[in-house]
Amino acid sequence: MTVTAYLAKEEKIEAARRRKRDEACVAKDKEGLKYPDQPEWNRGDFGEKKDCLSCFQECSQHSREGKWPEYKCPSPN
């Protein structure tokens, strides 16, 4: 019974981490969609438009903390 309770607690903690990560990624994605043009300095590597879907996927699937890939989808600020 103790193992089951421990696992349930760990699952809740992990679910909370995923929610926090996903919220961070969604917020950055929404911001990026408002500014879809790639900055001049980044167009040689990534083209004229940001690949928002790819950036969102990298943030949500490949980053435990929800780190936005600024190198290919830089924030407008």
Distances (CA, A) of 38 to 56, 65, 77: 15, 24, 13
**Half-sphere exposure in the Cβ direction for 47 (13 Å, CA):** 5
Q: Supply the pTM of this predicted model.
A: 0.76
* pLDDT of the residue at 45: 96
**Separation of alpha carbons 27 and 56, rounded Å:** 10
User: Which residue bears the tokens 């040689």?
Assistant: 44
Q: What pLDDT shows up at residue 3?
A: 64
pLDDT in tens, the chain (77 residues): 576 777 788 888 888 888 888 999 999 999 989 999 999 999 999 999 999 999 999 998 876 778 999 999 998 87
